[in-house]
Structure 1
Amino acid sequence: MAETQTATVTFGVFDETSQHESRVALTPDIVNRLRKVGVSCLIEKGAGIAAHYTDDDYAKAGAEVLDADTIVARADALGFIGRPDRALVERLRPGTWVIGMLGSFTDGDYIDALSAAGLIGVAMERLPRQLSSAQSMDEMTSQNSVMGYKAALVAADAYGSFFPMMTTAAGTIRPAKVLILGAGIAGLQAIGTARRLGAVVTAYDVRPASRDEVESLGAKFLDLGLDFSAGQGEGGYARALNAEEQVAQQTAVDEKAAGFDVIITTAKVPGRKPPVLLTARGVEGLKRGSVIVDCAASELGGNVEGSTIGTSVTDGGVTIIGAPYLSSQVPNTASNLLARNVADVLAHFVRDGRLAIKAGEELDDALIVTAAAAAADQTADATK
């Protein structure tokens, strides 16, 4: 059994609860896990309530339950579900590590603000998923898995009939036909959940490897008659299609979509505008009563043309649910997974009793996004 080290690094987490957010970036079991690698934990009062963890749960695990100002003053590193807002960035002490989904692919001004404040930004969206050592740190995989599971439940709830085939004295009700667009982590979970609910499931993805994954779960692979054999992108994500490929894919999907009762779209491109998989024409072709759950809906758009965050019903009677917050609707499990991801990222940088960076190490170079990090590491090296 690993011995608990004397805590030399202090890690803090704030209450990020909002209308759409119920998760927390630290759970009581992770408090124990971090203490074993020399990290003490601070958490803001009430931060875990929405995820069903009380302040007493954290205190019993060994965390200090404090107000936000005290955490700002004492923490060496801070963990976030998303990222600190600009007002909080201005309050943080120079040299503080900020770990979370920082939006580094699309918001260079924000990263510049972190750097200007002397903060060390650790952008979890840049995690190199191909590294076996990084698998337990992969927040996108863990949260997308929860999202895909919940998407199938949301679709089943909104659909006006049964998902499974039912034989009754009044006749037989056919099973729902469900189409999953995007067969990554979220899509595969949606496939498995919809299948367990009894639906007949078909799925599509541009990545060649996805066919075997889809069929291994008992679903059919949608053949669009197109060849995107180079559909695999970096880090296991689907690559962005060029304009010609997008048009061909959209046309084919629009034609096929009319045969389905429920469509779930899960194709996110990390940090970028999601691809449109189903156009307005395709939505118009769906039967009245059909349901679409667009997991990629955002301020940048979604996988469904015209989809917005929230629920809407078209003139043709199709329900479109723009649902980017599904992981937060399973707050306990999602928090357990996310807290492990954040904690393992933090633990990776705890070296010789302090937070440090190894220049030239692939994981470090990928995750650290501020110039302050390099300066801090050089200072540390010079004082050895």
Structure 2
Amino acid sequence: MKLGLPKESHSGEQRVALIPANVTILMKKQLQVIVESGAGLQAGFTDDDYVKVGATIASSREALLTEADIITVVNCKGDQFDEISAVLKPHQLVIGMMDPLVNPQNAQTIANTGGSAIALELIPRITRAQSMDVLSSMATISGYKAVLLAAHKAPRLFPMMMTAAGTLKPSRAFIMGVGVAGLQACATAKRLGAVVEAYDIRPAAREQIISVGAKPVELDIEAENTETKGGYATEQSDDLLKRQQQAMANVLAQQDIVITTAAIPGRKAPVLITKEMVDGMKSGTIIVDLAAESGGNCELTQVDEVIMHNGVMILGPSNVPSTAANHASQMYGKNVENLLNLLINNEGELVLDFEDEIVRDTVVAHGNDVSSARLRELLNLAPLTAPESPSEETA
């Protein structure tokens, strides 16, 4: 069976879906790995690095996309999605991040080709799937890099310094939303010497905030149901968001650095910081909005733009993990490697066992149909009839 690794053509993408170390492991599964020339170059991996571990460099991108039984990419969106779906054949499987809850119609497009697709954003948050969770891996990098972006732009240093020229007070950093990205941001800001505070609507987050050396901010508001089964924050009512904003204004006015991370899969990001709240912040404050791609947690955020408002700088970076392409590729590749180890048997055959929760949740198109229950609901398609006996299909 042939595993194809194309060069990313999605705009601004510098990561690669598999690094040479992953190829070494996957070849033990009797896979033939085909790599497009230059696929790993921006992440620090040359063609020779792949050849040394047994991969073959494809004669062309077209040949790779045609010959590979499995195509694995980072961003299967936009032009790259269009390119792959245009040539996909019934025996082929494409694996990558597809933003399926925002673009469920792409699953239908794949289904129409007869091919199969796995959307990595849908990896279930269960213990057995932690090693395959690309969202958590990439969020770790986003949280770390957000602090570095803020430090680079800030007019103040992070740590306290006692010098012959006087004592410099430490910067105050505030993290809004403490999932994986938020906790990493807390830890990174703390390591740089800032006084770190954090807030999350989920009560369970308090101990997590303390565990990384930050101080939890308590707001005197009554919370609603705050956490999904998968551990994500739930979408809150307009009334709760308004009360949260009012209580948060005084906290924000004291900060030098603010990093927002609140995002809900498939939904517009909640507005946590209004224009009026920014008006009340100190001149020189930096806001890094990690939810910019889904609308932004700050009302003034614009994707990939730097906005100045009354002396406050608002950054809305997109695809932050790509800016640390080497380690991001290492983490992403390990997630994909672990998933492929589940899907490919010892004879080198791809087996999609829909009795397995991981397979059932992540496969969005298979057998000329949209196979994901979540996406079928979004597309207003009738539920699929469950098989009477365990379903094991080989692609």
Alignment TM-score, normalising by the size of structure 1: 0.92
What is the aligned residue count? 372
Deviations 1:211-246 (A, max 9, x none): 000011111111111232631112111111122222
Correspondence 1:103 to 2:99:
yes
Q: Equivalent residue for 1:293?
A: 288
Q: Following TM superposition, by how much is the alpha carbon of 1:381 offset from its aligned partner in structure 2, in angstroms?
A: 6.2
Deviations 1:34-90 (A, max 9, x none): 112222211111111110111110110111111211111211111111214213211
Distance 1:175 1:140 in 2: 32
- What is the letter of the counterpart of residue 218 of structure 2? D
Contact 1:95-1:372 at 8 Å conserved across structures: no
Contact 2:281-2:312 at 8 Å conserved across structures: yes
Picking from 186, 199, 203, the partner of 2:198 is 203
Distance 1:14 1:228 in 2: 46
Distance 2:155 2:352 in 1: 54
C-alpha distance 315-184 of structure 1, shift in aligned 2 (>3 A): closer
Contact 1:72-1:93 at 8 Å conserved across structures: no
Q: Equivalent residue for 2:42?
A: 50
Picking from 159, 163, 166, the partner of 2:158 is 163
Q: Following TM superposition, by how much is the alpha carbon of 1:332 offset from its aligned partner in structure 2, in angstroms?
A: 0.5
Alignment partner of 1:122: what SS?
A: strand
Q: Equivalent residue for 1:5?
A: none
Alignment partner of 2:33: what SS?
A: strand
Q: Following TM superposition, by how much is the alpha carbon of 1:382 offset from its aligned partner in structure 2, in angstroms?
A: 8.8
Distance 2:32 2:248 in 1: 51
Task: Please provide the CA RMSD for this pair.
Answer: 2.1
Distance 2:157 2:107 in 1: 47
Correspondence 1:221 to 2:216:
yes
Distance 1:357 1:315 in 2: 52
Correspondence 1:322 to 2:302:
no
Answer with 40-49 or 176-185: which moved more: 40-49
Q: Following TM superposition, by how much is the alpha carbon of 1:369 offset from its aligned partner in structure 2, in angstroms?
A: 1.1
Contact 1:164-1:199 at 8 Å conserved across structures: yes
Alignment partner of 1:357: what SS?
A: strand
Q: Equivalent residue for 2:144?
A: 149
Alignment partner of 1:363: what SS?
A: helix
Unaligned regions of 5+ residues in structure 1, if any?
1-8
Q: Equivalent residue for 2:115?
A: 119
- 1:305-384 matched pairs, under 5 angstroms: 305-351=299-345, 352-372=347-367
Runs of 4+ in 1 over 4 A off after TM superposition: 373-378, 380-383
Picking from 60, 65, 70, the partner of 1:72 is 65
- What is the letter of the counterpart of residue 96 of structure 1? Q
Answer with 226-235 or 354-363: which moved more: 226-235
Distance 1:294 1:381 in 2: 43
Picking from 64, 85, 88, the partner of 2:84 is 88
- What is the letter of the counterpart of residue 71 of structure 2? L
Contact 1:182-1:265 at 8 Å conserved across structures: yes
Q: Equivalent residue for 1:4?
A: none
- What is the letter of the counterpart of residue 72 of structure 2? G
Alignment partner of 2:181: what SS?
A: helix
Correspondence 1:59 to 2:51:
yes
Distance 1:177 1:250 in 2: 19
Contact 2:353-2:392 at 8 Å conserved across structures: no
Correspondence 1:14 to 2:10:
no
C-alpha distance 381-47 of structure 1, shift in aligned 2 (>3 A): closer
Distance 1:174 1:156 in 2: 15
Contact 1:10-1:40 at 8 Å conserved across structures: yes
Alignment partner of 1:354: what SS?
A: coil
Distance 1:37 1:272 in 2: 38
- What is the letter of the counterpart of residue 363 of structure 1? I
Alignment partner of 2:259: what SS?
A: strand
Distance 1:79 1:348 in 2: 15
Deviations 1:302-352 (A, max 9, x none): 111120122423241111110122211111000000011112222211135
- What is the letter of the counterpart of residue 230 of structure 1? N
Contact 2:352-2:392 at 8 Å conserved across structures: no
Deviations 1:191-227 (A, max 9, x none): 0110000000000111111100001111111111123
C-alpha distance 295-170 of structure 1, shift in aligned 2 (>3 A): same
Distance 1:220 1:235 in 2: 25
- What is the letter of the counterpart of residue 296 of structure 2? G
Alignment partner of 1:85: what SS?
A: helix
Alignment TM-score, normalising by the size of structure 2: 0.89
Distance 2:194 2:137 in 1: 24
Distance 2:315 2:309 in 1: 15
